[in-house]
Amino acid sequence: MELQIESAVFTAILIGCAGYAALFIAPDESTMHAIQRIFYFHAPVAWAGMDAFAVTFIANIAYLATKRPKWDWIGVASAEVGLVFTTTVLITGPIWAHPVWGIWWTWEARLTSTLLLWLLYVAYVMLRKMVDTPERAASYAAIFGIFAYLDVPLVYLSIRFWRTQHPAPVVFGGAGSGLDPEMSKVFFFCVLVMHCLMVILVRQRYQLERLRYEIHEARLAAEDYAARAESFPAVPKEIV
């Protein structure tokens, strides 16, 4: 428990450092100036969100293979955290796009894929909530999660063929792309920090899910005990 608090405090300090680095250490971008600095928040959050969904996918497969509840908890925890991150991406994107492109939104490959990804995982979380039996909810959500993740490359490709406007990939984008070394240091630091935040949130949500499960199990056991006690009236009521 103590380690949890320490790691959370540590991440909070890292977030502070990342904010400072993005605002004051990273060099000024020659055409976009100050507004470009949202990139140090927007892109790392996007990466961490995508990685959270990748974790969901792995957890979904692991759940169906092993049927151990902990994989279901990891699945839902990382899906929800991924959703929060994707929501942030969808909010910070237009804030940047409006001054730079002159529009809030465009139906371009990465924007549209992110929006669809968000819708897919909202559906995942809803499905898991709408199925009443916990084991069935876990398997069904896992099946849907696998379908949703398989859909991601297809969504991206289809919209890529269809239309595109987002700035070409700046990081790992091939020839002609690339960041100034100073920017790159700040950027990867921010990526690291956002991943720390993602891991901490997933861990908290996982523990919450585990507690819920334990309460559910305890309640079932208590009901079972009460039912048995009723069928043997000789047992004094205080024990029940």
Binding-site ranges for another protein (CB under 8 A): 64, 116, 119-120, 123, 126-127, 130-133, 136, 139-140, 142-144, 146-148, 150-151, 154-155, 157-159, 161-162
- 39/53 with CB nearer another protein: 53
Q: Is the sign of the CA dihedral 76, 80, 85, 89 positive or negative?
A: positive
Q: How far is the CB of 49 from another protein (least distance, A)?
A: 16
The distance of closest approach from Cβ of residue 117 to another protein in the complex, given in angstroms and rounded to an integer, is 9
CB 121 within 8 A of CB 52: no
Nearer to another protein, 23 or 154 (CB): 154
The Cα–Cα gap between 63 and 134 comes to 13
Which tokens go with 166?
């987002």
CB 124 within 8 A of CB 148: yes
Q: Radius of gyration (Cα) for the chain, nearest Å? A: 23
Q: What are the CA-CA distances from residue 133 to residues 12, 140, 150, 182, 191 (Å)?
A: 38, 10, 26, 53, 38
CB atoms within 10 A of CB 127: 16
Is the CB of 152 or the CB of 229 nearer to another protein?
152
Least separation, in Å, of the C-beta of 133 and another protein? 8
Nearest distance in Å: CB 196, another protein: 30
Tell me whether residue 108 or residue 187 sits nearer to another protein (CB atom): 108
Could you tell me the smallest distance in angstroms from the CB atom of residue 173 to another protein? Answer: 23
For another protein, the closer of residues 41 and 63 by Cβ is 63
3-state secondary structure of 111: helix
